[in-house]
Amino acid sequence: MSADLVFMLEEPSMKAFLDSLLPRVLPSSTTFTLIAHEGKSDLESSLPRKLKAWRKPDAKFVVVRDQDAADCKVVKARLLEIAEATGHVGTVVRIACRELEAWILGDLEAVATAFGKPQVAFLASKEKYRNPDRLGSPSDELRKLLGSYTKIAGARTAGAHIDVDRNCSRSFQVFVAAVRRLASA
């Protein structure tokens, strides 16, 4: 049995990250489509139209958005309401706590390998990095650790090295579990 998953994403950096991560997470029989938007407003305004227009009846949808400073429960509820209003009751919504870069910081060993900065791996034992979902600005943290970090290229590079089982970001683990459940349903 194969699944067809469609990911509606807030931004191109999430697409770059998932392009390299999902083939290692999903069964080979699962096909997926990644649709990047140009921010939260673009995602929320185009979501109803895209869900209504989707022509593959068995497709399963996953909406992924950064929390930023918003209340994640409110954001998730709003996105679920949008999806349900189009008839897509089974849509899964996942929120990256603060931002995608918290998911990347969840595996500092991968960051060290991906960016050629072996000293970064040793920071994983520091209290500050044990729960990257709590960091105020994960993208700023990555810039500090690496000297420079660009969202799309950095997400693509890191995504290729992230170890799903080693990643300590809770919101990342919740995302992976939901995607695996959808793929096997």
> Which helix or strand (DSSP H or E) is residue 142 part of?
helix 138-146
Closest C-alpha among 69, 117, 112, 100 to residue 169: 100
Residue 56 has pLDDT above 60, yes or no: yes
- Over residues 63-82, the mean pLDDT reads 93
> pLDDT tens, 150-160?
999 999 999 99
What is the percentage of the chain residues whose pLDDT exceeds 70?
99
pLDDT band per the 50, 70, 90 thresholds, residue 2: low
pLDDT of residue 70: 87
Q: What is the pLDDT of residues 88-146, one digit of tens each?
A: 889 999 999 999 999 999 999 999 999 999 999 999 999 999 999 999 899 999 999 99
Give the residue extent of every domain in the chain.
Answer: 1-185
**At residue 69, does pLDDT exceed 90?**
no
Looking at residue 3, what is its pLDDT?
Answer: 72
pLDDT digits (tens, 9 = 90+) for 160-172: 999 999 999 999 9
Buried b (16+ CB within 10 A) or exposed e, 122-133: ebbeeeebeebb
How far is Cα 4 from Cα 59, in angstroms, rounded to an integer?
5
Question: Does the pLDDT at position 12 exceed 70?
Answer: yes
Checking if the pLDDT of 25 tops 80, the result is: yes
Q: Report pLDDT for 55.
A: 84
Residue 63 near residue 94, CB atoms below 8 Å: yes
pLDDT band of 57, cuts 50, 70, 90:
confident
Q: Is the pTM of this model over 0.85?
A: yes
Instruction: Find all residues with CB under 8 Å of 148, minimum gap 6, and list them.
Output: none
pLDDT at site 5: 96
User: Token pair of 51, please?
Assistant: 């869900």
In angstroms, the CA 104 to CA 138 distance is 9
How does residue 1 score in pLDDT terms, banded at 50, 70 and 90? Answer: low
Name the more confident of 38 and 68: 38
| Three-state SS at 175 | helix
Q: Are 168 and 132 in contact (CB under 8 A)?
A: yes
